[in-house]
Amino acid sequence: MRIVPIPCLSDNYAYLLVCRETKEAAIIDASEAGPVLGAIDQGAGTQDSRRDLASLANHNREDVRIVAILSTHHHHDHVGGNEEVRSKLGIDRVYGHASDRGRIPGQTQYLQENETFEIGRLKVRVLHIPGHTLGAVAYVVTHEPDDPVVFTGDTLLIGGCGRLFEGDPPMMSESLSKLAALDPRTKVYCGHEYTESNLRFAAHVEPSNAAIAQARAKASQLRKEGRTTMGATIADELSYNPFLRTSSPEIRRTLGIPDSASPAEALGAIRKAKDAFKIGA
């Protein structure tokens, strides 16, 4: 499989997911039509997506057939391009959670937990991960012998998690647990380039964690080169993401979370501290 990040708006990502064998492809989160259509037609975008698209061209880019849009949740910065992209490319499948009916423009497929479908020969499995919104889903994509990938929208972010707009901490805690339990090699592609500010907060709450310093250095280098920080693995995230590390004694000490607090209570406290630390994410 091949994944092409397409930068949209100020810090969103849409993605092109391509099955190299069949040349069928899907767009994950058609955030806005212009950059998505531009990336597909002309190879516009960041250095990263230009390079990826150039190499896509080597794999018969002209033959790539976009067959579906996969929406992670209903927020406008993730579905704003659905209608235009769908009509311009003649796409007849638009996926989203069943409970997002009426909130995802152009939706035709109403997904439930663990439902599966295919993009070419890529197998896609749906995880319902409420918290950021009630209808949030993750798309887990597998194709041997490639490493699996997961598109997490605004639920699990690299180094962080999304704000709790519609759900509560126990809900988000359960959703993040599902993602944490994926194959540790699974690569994470999320909805926003918030990695550096997320890791700043991670370092603040767990200063002695060497994995955070390492991740910050890597993210800073990638951003300097104009590249995305996407594609960190679940194993990476477990080593530095404070929202997956609610039992860390250092995080609990920093934020005054008692030992007796449940993972969900700790997550709520970490989320509250992050909201106060910096607006965003």
Least Å distance, CB 167 to Zn ion, is 12
Least Å distance, CB 132 to Zn ion, is 6
Which entry of 74, 75, 97, 128 is annotated as an active-site residue?
Answer: 75
Segment contacting Zn ion by CB under 5 A, of 34-42, 70-78, 138-146, 265-273: 70-78
Q: Helix or strand or coil: residue 27?
A: strand
Least Å distance, CB 38 to Zn ion, is 23
Segment contacting Zn ion by CB under 5 A, of 6-14, 91-99, 151-159, 247-255: 151-159
Residues 165 and 126: their CA atoms lie apart, in Å, by: 21
Segment contacting Zn ion by CB under 5 A, of 19-27, 86-94, 146-154, 245-253: 146-154
Least Å distance, CB 27 to Zn ion, is 17
DSSP of 68-97: EEE-S---HHHHTTHHHHHHHHT--EEEEE
CA dist 173 to 164, 167, 170, 234, Å? 11, 10, 5, 16
Is 236 in the active site?
Answer: no
Residues 247 and 119: their CA atoms lie apart, in Å, by: 38
Q: Does 75 bind Zn ion (CB under 5 A)?
A: yes
The bridge status of strand 156-157 relative to strand 149-153 is unpaired
Binding site for Zn ion (CB under 5 A): 75, 154
- Residues identified as active-site: 73, 75, 77-78, 132, 154, 192
